[in-house]
Amino acid sequence: MADQNPEGTFRVIDRRPFTSEGELRPDVVQEQEREAKAQAAIKEAKEKAAPPPPAAPPKETPKKSPAFENLVRMIGSNAAMVLGAYADPRTGQPVIDPEAAHELIDMLDALREKTVGNLAPEEDTMLLDLLGKLKMTYLEINQALAAQMAQAQPHPKPKK
């Protein structure tokens, strides 16, 4: 191995980043800039190479179910029947049973609560409309029955 220094003396290279005045040496500043650019290029390459995060798949809209619609209509028809919408075929008089109507309306409410997010938009609209109509009719029937009961009650005579 040949000695590169013919005189046999040592060569000293100052690798300190600061000058004797305390300022950064120009070659250190250039080295830092090169390293920063290299790091930025590596980071940019990684970002381009990395696949984008998977987007959430679009939520599939549920399909209409004729069986579900028939179930809702059947319960709704029964509720309407006991709210006086249909006449009893034997007597010809409307059937009014507020307690039965309340139970059927509660069933439809429970059905809606348990199926939130799983109904086709048409099914949800149909169920909401039906519930709204049945609840309004129920309130009207109850108010009419209460007024009828109030009129049927004998008024007490004032005491003298």
Q: Which residue did the predictor score with more confidence, 124 or 34?
A: 124
Q: Which two tokens stand for residue 152?
A: 């049927």
Range of the domain at 113: 66-149
Domain count across the chain: 1
Does 16 map to a domain? no
Residue 34 has pLDDT above 80, yes or no: yes
> Measured on CA atoms in the order 86, 92, 98, 101, is the torsion positive or negative?
negative
Does 12 map to a domain? no
Least confident of 71-85, 89-103, 145-159: 145-159
Per-residue confidence (pLDDT) for residue 138, from 0 to 100 = 94
Q: What is the mean pLDDT of residues 147-156?
A: 79
Per-residue confidence (pLDDT) for residue 71, from 0 to 100 = 96
Does 27 map to a domain? no
Does 3 map to a domain? no
Q: Confidence class of residue 3 from pLDDT cuts 50, 70 and 90?
A: low
pTM value is 0.58
- How far CA 33 is from CA of 26, 41, 45, 83, in Å, comes to 11, 12, 18, 84
Does 43 map to a domain? no
Residue with tokens 């990395």: 50
Does 98 map to a domain? yes
Instruction: Write down how long the chain is.
Output: 160
| CB burial string 26-57: b at 16+ within 10 A, e below | eeeeeeeeeeeeeeeeeeeeeeeeeeeeeeee
> Measured on CA atoms in the order 123, 125, 129, 134, is the torsion positive or negative?
positive
Does 114 map to a domain? yes
φ and ψ at residue 3, rounded to 5 degrees? -85, 125
Q: Which residue did the predictor score with more confidence, 150 or 3?
A: 150
In percent, the amount of the chain with pLDDT more than 90 equals 42
Does 115 map to a domain? yes
